[in-house]
A and B are shown apart, each in its own frame.
Chain A
Amino acid sequence: MPVVMDADRISRTLTRIAHEIVERNKGVENLAIVGVRTRGVHIARRLARSLAEIAGREVPTGALDITLYRDDLMRHAVGPQPLVRRTEIPFTIDDRRILLVDDVLYTGRTTRAALDALIDFGRPKSIQLVVLVDRGHRELPIKADYVGKNLPTSSGESVQVRLMESDGEDAVVLEREGGA
């Protein structure tokens, strides 16, 4: 199973994205970061630390669980429900510029759910999408504003983002169909 990004590469990539964010938004004024559970939240917190170093001020950071907004939630005939975890957005998103952060952008369905969930919290000035890996195969008209790495894949492959906070290491791994 080929490692397509190692710990150094991930770290440099996130620093680069943080600089791009500051450049495009002319600072961090009025920005807030929302990570999609689980790994999007870890990436969001790392970006928040980078932004604080670059711009010298804290950016409010939250966590979004999109389970209850999934478009496939009740489509399985019967079966166990996916685990719902807590959404924590301890600030108002009204009139803020929101950076929505996820680990992998694939079909776009998670992002669609996240957008719907966010809009239920208020009316942000804008939402910008940050992903560590864009692996293609979109099924909805969704495009990321900041991409760590464009990774051409076949639909039989799976992209696994492993992060220190949840998996004990930093790596992006490409796995063939049927696993490694």
Chain B
Amino acid sequence: MSAVEGGNVLPATALRGKDLLGVSELTPEEISLVLDTAEAMKEIGSRPIKKVPALRGKTVVNLFFEPSTRTRTSFEIAEKRLSADTLSIAAGTSSVVKGETLVDTVRTLEAMQPDMIVVRHASSGAAHLLSRTCRSAVINAGDGTHEHPTQALLDAFTIREHKARLSNLKVAIIGDLLHSRVLRSNVLLLTKMGARVWACGPPTLVPVDLPGLGVQVTHHVEEAVRDADVVMLLRIQLERMEGAFFPSLREYFRLFGMTSARLALARPDVLVMHPGPMNRGVEIASDVADGPNSVILEQVANGVAVRMAVLYLLAGGAEHEAVV
């Protein structure tokens, strides 16, 4: 098992931070450490007894202020497979609806001594805010349009499993770039690991700072897909669309939707990925989503392994606190 991608940097043996807030703070060595650890974690999912005692006695709170099925269940399964005690709170049923602030909610929870808090929130920077006020390790499970680090890590894990590397791959990311934290985390991670990232979407859905992140931006889907090793589709996030970004979903599909004809421009062994949930017939055609190049369901399975790796690596606490 190689600890390092395409370079001769020494493998990291620990994550430096107490929290996982975003990909932006991770080094390539730390990313490789998470992916290598996830390889070991993935094997646990294939055992008759899918459970190890590593996090026995640790309490993890999943605090979701936004609806989420796959990320929340993925974290819950990961926590249970590591034998942690878990507790999931959905904002709709908590005192948030009674007007309590984010910080007060978390302070109340902290008084019950959890070891880790997994947080999803509609505001960018929510996890950072908690990290400054909490003793517990904070894992960002998506904050607004900012970052979703475990999604990017599981995408990288899936790519690495198939291609054995991340460096020098052409990755085309197509869809709603403006509202996507998945895009931001993926761009940060893939460029750190030496991949060539292309982003494609209608001009109204391209964030202005994107070219500054080392990404090739195009509005022509054929240009993005040509010779790509990976085609990653992003969901058109209808719930975040306050204005009219394009005339109709049908027109979006005609101009940007991933069809088998378009996919034929990519390399024959191209991977088709989607973080879910999919809008079939909007960003992706059904036959592509279910086709032989699709690894969309593998992404879901790998999500558990990657989250187990993150939970395990953060459970030891940060090095700089070792004097406490």
Interface stretch, picked from B54-62, B70-78, B189-197, is B54-62
Q: Is the interface of B mostly helix, strand, loop or mixed?
A: loop
Task: Indicate with 1 or 0, residue by residue over A68-97, a CB within 8 angstroms of chain B CB atoms.
Answer: 110001101111110111111000000000
**In the complex, are the beta carbons of B51 and A120 less than 8 A apart?**
yes
A56 part of interface (Cβ distance < 8 Å)? no
Complex Cα gap A76–B14 (Å): 14
Q: Contacting B322 at CB < 8 Å: which of A77, A87, A122?
A: A77
Complex Cα gap A110–B109 (Å): 37
List residues of chain A with CB within 8 A of the CB of B36: 83
Complex Cα gap A159–B317 (Å): 31
Task: Indicate with 1 or 0, residue by residue over B271-282, a CB within 8 angstroms of chain A CB atoms.
Answer: 000000000000
**In the complex, are the beta carbons of B315 and A65 less than 8 A apart?**
no
Contact flag A80-B14 (CB < 8 Å), given A68-B53, A69-B53, A85-B40: yes
Contact flag A121-B43 (CB < 8 Å), given A81-B316, A86-B1: no
The chain B residue with its CB closest to the CB of A84 is: B40
List residues of chain B with CB within 8 A of the CB of A122: 48
- Interface positions of A from 91 to 121, Cβ below 8 Å from B: 116-117, 120-121
Q: How many chain B residues have a CB neighbour from A under 8 Å?
A: 34
**In the complex, are the beta carbons of A121 and B37 less than 8 A apart?**
no
**In the complex, are the beta carbons of B47 and A121 less than 8 A apart?**
yes
The chain B residue with its CB closest to the CB of A83 is: B13
B324 part of interface (Cβ distance < 8 Å)? yes
Complex Cα gap A117–B51 (Å): 10
* Distance between B33 CB and nearest chain A CB, rounded to angstroms: 8
Complex Cα gap A81–B40 (Å): 14
B321 part of interface (Cβ distance < 8 Å)? yes
List residues of chain B with CB within 8 A of the CB of A67: 54
**In the complex, are the beta carbons of B318 and A87 less than 8 A apart?**
no
Contact flag A86-B40 (CB < 8 Å), given A80-B14, A81-B312, A81-B316: yes
The chain A residue with its CB closest to the CB of B318 is: A78
The chain A residue with its CB closest to the CB of B50 is: A120
**In the complex, are the beta carbons of A74 and B47 less than 8 A apart?**
no
Complex Cα gap A79–B315 (Å): 9
**In the complex, are the beta carbons of B51 and A74 less than 8 A apart?**
no
Complex Cα gap A85–B49 (Å): 18
**In the complex, are the beta carbons of B58 and A85 less than 8 A apart?**
no
- Interface positions of A from 25 to 63, Cβ below 8 Å from B: none
**In the complex, are the beta carbons of B324 and A78 less than 8 A apart?**
yes
- Interface positions of B from 203 to 227, Cβ below 8 Å from A: none
Complex Cα gap A86–B318 (Å): 24
**In the complex, are the beta carbons of A81 and B48 less than 8 A apart?**
no
16 contacts between A and B (CB under 8 A): A69-B54, A73-B54, A74-B55, A74-B57, A76-B316, A77-B317, A79-B317, A80-B13, A83-B36, A84-B309, A87-B40, A117-B52, A120-B49, A121-B47, A121-B49, A122-B48
Taking Cβ atoms with an 8 Å cutoff, the residues of A that contact B are 65, 67-69, 73-74, 76-81, 83-88, 116-117, 120-122
Known contacts A78-B317, A85-B40, then 17 further A-B pairs from the complex at CB < 8 Å, ordered by chain A residue? A68-B44, A68-B52, A69-B52, A69-B54, A74-B55, A74-B57, A74-B58, A77-B317, A77-B324, A78-B316, A78-B318, A78-B324, A79-B317, A79-B322, A80-B14, A81-B312, A86-B43
